Chains A and B, each alone.
Chain A
């Protein structure tokens, strides 16, 4: 006659026996992974020497506070602007063609060198000297390079820009209108597309005007 019962005596495992069993399990794990464990211990030793472990201990122990503090500190315009700029510079670097840039940089260096060597007390350099220098082969070459640069400057690259994040646009919704062109392949003509061209045109005109201004004097 087995009467219904709900009494269950749990198996009390001898703590000593349990401990021994667990030690044995760990021991066999150690043996099995001996080489890896030696490597790991070396790294841990070095981390300890350099206080990294203590740092990590503190950071992990207070991780929620630490993360919150860092995140709220980062959530400022200056910090996010820095990160954004860093990311943009990184992306911009990818757009630079170093082969094409190299001769320009060399020319720039040369120009800088000559500028540095220029002696302000040199009386030979006057307005006429400048006009004369328009016949100089090197000056003509420099002007041509500058003209190409100015032309390239006037090309519309709005499609390629990546510098207006979502939050910024949200805070300045008026700018949203200006970004319409960027997202669609529409043939509509938002006004802003002319802005870079206009800027290029003005810059180019100014460069051309330089000799004329000098001439007037």
Chain B
């Protein structure tokens, strides 16, 4: 609504246009109205009544009352104040004010602040217990006796995170928050995402890391705590003095609790939040509403998975191999050795005998320096990063069709889309926070969701249409749906004419993709195909999300291309809420490539073969650069086996376990004449190294990441590097300088300034423009203008036109008949990859201690499998040993093996070297294996406390109507009217 409204607020006439609530307007006018259940990221919950005002003479909750033209608002009258005090008093009956000895007394307790602002001195309703015990797990705890029943946690769980575990049982004599059907946290469906503790206005829902740590007096024992609180209550002469003392104590805490903004490293969503540290202890993660990608949201890893930073297993000194063992060494010695070996190889075999692998977990600046070291110092283009293992095919598909290899819009656009199609993406587990936006939009806003996947994961279960194409057949159904749309005349002719080239050629290439052919190949029914086409046709905006289920195939790039083709044909580009979203897996998989860790492209995807580009870099770096594209990861391994590549410097990548066909990769490592590995842990890959260098994780350094939305975000240093470990950029600089580079960077901002000056794609990026929670989405012009919606005027291809690109289906690998099981694989919510970081968090380890194999009920019946049965899976390339879980998430002869182990259950013992024909991305998803039962009965690998055994209780919000219907509830406004005879 843009109509101008005239409203009288506290006797003063105001004019404005926004369609907002009374509370929002009053807050904008700096008028203090208490609002304990209201949270800007959650909206009106209406449980606390403390925001009561009078509108046109009637008492209303200002949080849920929209302002209308001509309204007369009174927020200051004595009767309004009285109603607010009644509401506050009810809250205080539920919450004991022992602020000074409360771990939540950090200046942000909203009850404390409301009591102070309203100058409440005493309460009428005495605090009393709800007679229920504290509910806790390893990550957070709920104290019912401190809970004011505002319902924020429930709202966040039900409608933001949409795990649907929490509710308030309004039927209890003393209502309180319950998990599932009133069970313990551990026995519930809770995924420990931490939303509840993040939004709680007080200490009812508190992170366990804060307990006894945050305050100066909060570490006291329970038997002393209670008498201390009693004394305080007995001697207090009004809350003013209590507030003063606790405010003083809260101020003192500021001196020793450090709050540092950082960016999560567990996936490509790019969640930003404050980390609270006391010395090296991590007290909690505090998301901020202003965080551009995640707002108040986190997943269990981002919220609670940081113990690895202080793990005793961290590498703290360089290691040097001596025969069959390593010994700790000083930096000087390690760098001496690296220098001599690098120089020797350079002299004897030339620069292309060395290769470099960047990390998608490290910063942009580190990716930039690594490729600069390779190109500008050593003289080779043998530089790559691990996007080669995941999203290079998606990037290829987009380069072909629209020119930029990035998401078309932001996460907001995903939430806005009328229709979401998720293909080969277990986004609820792989990009948990992003998936919450889809779940919420579907639950509350009528967004439609189609899921195409082998496995009935969470989003599939929630979807409006779930189809299970046969493995590796996505290109066929996508093309058939596109053809059907064109045949029906549903394609966007105007869009194609104006913005797309090669249309006719492409449309004629669709001829073979008839519904009959697609049904035969994909095993989808014709009805399903038509339904998909119809849903796309009926939706004004469609966004397609895809991930490894698409890309990790022999035809991964072509299938990605087919997705983009479908979107172009239906005009689903160049508008909010539409487009292509290849969901990036690692925190900086986008940035690692953006900053040039690729064998054929310099930063900003500028070709090494382009003379103009090269000469610009040469002028800046003062060197001459090779114009010959280098080797990618996959080719490096082959090259080692062939005796061409002698030296490898790899950082932040456990290639020895995450690459496909690891027996082949590991045997390559054994053949290297010199191998430098830089990591924070002694990984499987480190075992093959000659020198291991101890690096510092994200909390111990500064830098920037680019998330899946092409968004640059800064991370700040929260902790000093542990032991003798160092930030990667410093290590690379030292090695480069040993090789005569003469680099003088003293801060990552200088590296960014140099990269931006050479790269039109992000020319305007600077640390100043990324202060705090500020962010920029590339392309970024020199003046700092960024591009939230990627394509607005046209496409990044010649003539500004997108290009339809005909593709043909590549049949997946075929196996001998004995390999009768299809082995699907991927991530788990609670572990990051092989788990060398997440297993360091005891709470995660306790709930998910092992890898497991999901088998279907049908297969279980056929092979007499049950939970805990130990089996061996054998493919032509190797075998794994793993315990089974019987579940309906998989069907028939499809099994699912998550990647959360580097032990004998590691998936890549089964995978082959077969790869995407266009990018060499391993075809991890094309594996078949045979099964052998090793032990019929065993303990289940998945404890019953795992959230997968929970029993969610979906509902919309907190069901405040049930509270209002209680016989002991009276609306404070009505009470005031009665008292005053109104």
Contacts and interface: CB of A to CB of B under 8 A. Distances in A.
A163 to B, nearest CB: 7
B331 to A, nearest CB: 12
Contact of A2 (B122, B125, B234, B688): B688
Contact of B690 (A2, A75, A170): A2
Nearest to A71: B227
A167 B78 contact: no
B324 A176 contact: no
Contact of B85 (A64, A84, A184): A184
Contact of B326 (A9, A67, A81, A168): A9
B230 interface: yes
A183 B120 contact: yes
B121 interface: yes
Most A C-beta atoms less than 10 A away, residue of B79, B89, B237? B237
B328 A80 contact: no
B328 A9 contact: yes
Given A4-B666, A185-B82, A83 B326 contact: no
Nearest to B327: A9
A186 B684 CA distance: 72
Interface string B277-310: 0000000000000000000000000000000000
Majority-rule SS of A interface residues: helix
B224 A71 contact: yes
B328 A187 contact: no
B221 A64 contact: yes
B122 A166 contact: yes
Nearest to A9: B327
B127 interface: yes
Contacts of B980: 186-188
A7 B128 CA distance: 59
Given A6-B687, A67-B224, A183 B327 contact: no
B254 interface: no
A4 B690 CA distance: 10
Contacts of A7: 324-326
Interface stretch (B424-432, B670-678, B730-738): B670-678
A2 B670 contact: yes
B939 interface: no
Interface string B63-103: 00000000000000011011001100100000001000000
Most A C-beta atoms less than 10 A away, residue of B125, B224, B329? B224
A170 to B, nearest CB: 4
A162 interface: yes
Interface residues of A, number: 46
A11 interface: yes
A165 interface: yes
Nearest to A74: B231
Given A2-B321, A2-B670, A91 B327 contact: no
Contacts of B684: 4
Contact of A166 (B127, B224, B317, B669): B127
Given A67-B220, A162-B238, A166-B126, A186 B682 contact: no
B123 A183 contact: yes
B883 to A, nearest CB: 24
Nearest to B220: A67
A2 B78 contact: no
Interface string A1-23: 11111111111000000000000
Nearest to A172: B126
A36 interface: no
Contacts of B120: 183
Majority-rule SS of B interface residues: mixed
A168 B223 contact: no
Interface string A173-197: 1001001101111111000000000
A169 interface: yes
Contacts of B82: 184-186
A162 B121 contact: yes
Contacts of A163: 237
B122 A183 contact: yes
A191 B913 CA distance: 89
Nearest to A90: B237
A164 interface: yes
A2 B689 contact: yes
A168 B328 contact: no
Contact of B328 (A1, A10, A75, A169): A10
A72 interface: yes
Nearest to A12: B328
A16 to B, nearest CB: 18
A68 B230 contact: no
B354 to A, nearest CB: 16
A1 B671 contact: yes
A87 interface: yes
B325 A5 contact: yes
B95 to A, nearest CB: 12
B230 A4 contact: no
Given A71-B228, A186-B82, A186-B979, A84 B325 contact: no
B233 interface: yes
A168 to B, nearest CB: 7
A115 to B, nearest CB: 36
A8 B328 CA distance: 7
Contacts of B329: 11
Most A C-beta atoms less than 10 A away, residue of B122, B321, B687, B979? B122
Contact of B227 (A74, A83, A84, A183): A74
A173 B687 contact: no
A88 interface: yes
Contacts of A9: 325-328
B112 to A, nearest CB: 15
A105 to B, nearest CB: 26
Nearest to B81: A185
B968 interface: no
A122 B814 CA distance: 131
Given A182-B122, A183-B124, A167 B228 contact: no
28 contacts: A1-B670, A1-B671, A2-B690, A5-B321, A7-B326, A8-B327, A10-B328, A75-B231, A80-B235, A84-B234, A87-B241, A88-B237, A162-B237, A164-B122, A165-B233, A165-B237, A166-B97, A166-B126, A167-B230, A169-B122, A170-B233, A173-B126, A176-B125, A183-B85, A183-B123, A184-B82, A185-B78, A187-B980
Interface of B: 78-79, 81-82, 85-86, 89, 97, 120-128, 220-221, 223-224, 227-228, 230-231, 233-238, 241, 317, 319, 321, 324-329, 666, 669-672, 675, 682, 684, 687-690, 976, 979-980
Q: When A and B form their complex, which 3 residue pairs have the shortest distance between CB atoms, in order from nearest?
A: A80-B234, A11-B328, A7-B325
Given A11-B327, A169-B126, A184-B85, 20 more contacts: A2-B672, A4-B669, A4-B684, A7-B326, A8-B682, A9-B325, A11-B328, A67-B220, A68-B221, A81-B234, A83-B235, A88-B237, A162-B121, A165-B236, A167-B233, A170-B127, A170-B128, A183-B121, A185-B81, A186-B78
